[in-house]
Amino acid sequence: MSPDNTRRTTSGIDIDAVYGAAALTGWDPEVALGEPGRYPFTRGPHPTMYRGRLWTMRQYAGFGTAAATNERFRQLLAAGQTGLSVAFDLPTQMGLDSDAVLARGEVGKVGVAIDSLGDMRTLLDGLPLASVSTSMTINATAAILLLLYEIVAEEAGIQPEAIRGTVQNDILKEYAARGTYIYPPRPSMRLVTDLFAYCGERLPAWNTISVSGYHVREAGSSAAEEVAITLSNGLAYVGAAVAAGLDIDGFAPRISFFWNGHSNFFEEIAKYRAARRIWATEMRHRLGAKNPESWKMRFHTQTAGSTLTAQQPENNIVRTALQALAAVLGGTQSLHTNAYDEALGLPTERSAMIALRTQQIIGYESGVADTVDPLAGAYFVETLTDRLEAAIRSVMGQIESAGGAVAAVEAGVVQAIIEESAYRQARQVESGDAIVVGVNRFSETAGDVVPGLVVDPDVERDQVARLAAWRARRDATAVATRLASVRSTAGGDDNLLPPMKQALLVGATVGEVSAALADVFGRYRPGT
């Protein structure tokens, strides 16, 4: 709240003291809302929404070794989780093997270490891959991890059409908000569209991209900027795929999105509704998609890690519950709830279970899943949805004026938008204009120490030893031949995934395949 008692959302939208019918004067519900499951999908992508089935309940998990993460997955599935979500360690995300110099001290720390097909076999051992969908938060090395997953599923006898899941595969936001890029933007876009084409031919049920606003928001953007930057990226991926010769209605139905569930309750609900409406309009009228499935925005939501506090960490349970409830009221298809101790370290088994139970309480006890879009027609919600749509389109206009998403990233325009918002938010917290309970108001001098998960320091040593043993067992000549094929293909126009798969099948590692591509594409450095 500002000193003059003005109330605003994170996107700078003024909030009136009260809303009534006058707020919706001239508002046409048939145009703005439609019916659930029908254009413009403001009310959700499916006619029955949660009355048909609840959203997929995922918990992001991954730490240390593939064996340890496999055990955590088994525990979560036994507790009622309905989808897997894999966190990879930083070296895996950056295309580095665990024995690389730059990987030292990072192996298994923020996710699971995957160097080879052997590691992926261990990670997925005994899991019901034919009946569960698996989301993998991976970008620069998305194609490699997808191929490893496909190989393990094939070895288990699972038919290609039954292999279900998502790779994030959203490289553009890495340059502006997250940093796990390897190659320059334009060859990275080729990897994205090659993955589209490969899955279109071989893995029809796989979601080929999860265009991510989550990390844009975590980096400091407002709600409107999160959506605007993300939708601009999504339009760039569609344009690149069409330019590569793909049929828009062939790949667009497998595009998904990934939103940040933040703290301003009603702004978040309006954000999801406005995002669906804009995407449907752009896909139908601007890009000319004919299939209504191509117009639908389906999305996963994760509650906001950046809002979690190390001070009074139990308060995070309440924050997460409210953020999750907003996502459900906004119509998410999949949801991850953060554990309350994540500001201190990786989630413990107990904190991860509380986070899962939060979703289950919302789904089975609250009653919010009993009717579709229960807030439709509310004066405040509909007004805020319209105003947020206008704010989103304004930022999209900035990006388009800069030449579109790729050019805007290369010119630093997107980075500047995020940085300005992050600075403004930090100043508001420092001044006390934005209250964070337990941090700048209602603080305590001391509290109970919350134990966090500690990754065994021997994990890195053991992983490096497993990698050395893997290399010793393989046919080095066959690996070298297949990696040469990857380089040759990278220098031409053919799809990169088939030769990459052949390299992985003979034992090439994640780091080796990534390095082969970098030999041709080069490595991206900011400002180059």
Three-state SS string over 89-108 comes to CHHHHCCCCCCCHHHCCCCC
Digit-coded pLDDT (tens) for 310-363: 999 999 999 999 999 999 999 999 999 999 999 998 788 899 899 999 999 999
Q: Does residue 450 surpass a pLDDT of 80?
A: no
pLDDT at 523: 97
pLDDT at 20: 94
Q: Is the pTM of this model over 0.75?
A: yes
The region of weakest confidence among 27-36, 367-376, 472-481 is 27-36
pLDDT at 365: 98
Residue among 380, 454, 400 at smallest CA distance from 14: 380
What residue ranges do the domains of the chain occupy? Answer: 21-431, 459-521
| Rounded Cα distance, 71 and 86, in Å | 13
Which residue did the predictor score with more confidence, 445 or 343? 343
Digit-coded pLDDT (tens) for 151-161: 999 999 999 99
Q: Does residue 193 surpass a pLDDT of 60?
A: yes
Phi, psi (degrees; rounded to nearest 5) at 137: -80, 90
| Residue 309 tokens, joined | 């506090």
Beta carbons of 324 and 362 less than 8 angstroms apart: yes
| Residue 58 tokens, joined | 């995922």
User: Which of 60-69, 327-336, 450-459 has the highest average model confidence (pLDDT)?
Assistant: 327-336
| Rounded Cα distance, 385 and 406, in Å | 28
**Superfamily of structural domain 21-431:** Methylmalonyl-CoA mutase (3.20.20.240)
pLDDT at 528: 47
| Rounded Cα distance, 357 and 354, in Å | 5
| Rounded Cα distance, 501 and 117, in Å | 10
Confidence of residue 449 (pLDDT cuts 50, 70, 90): low
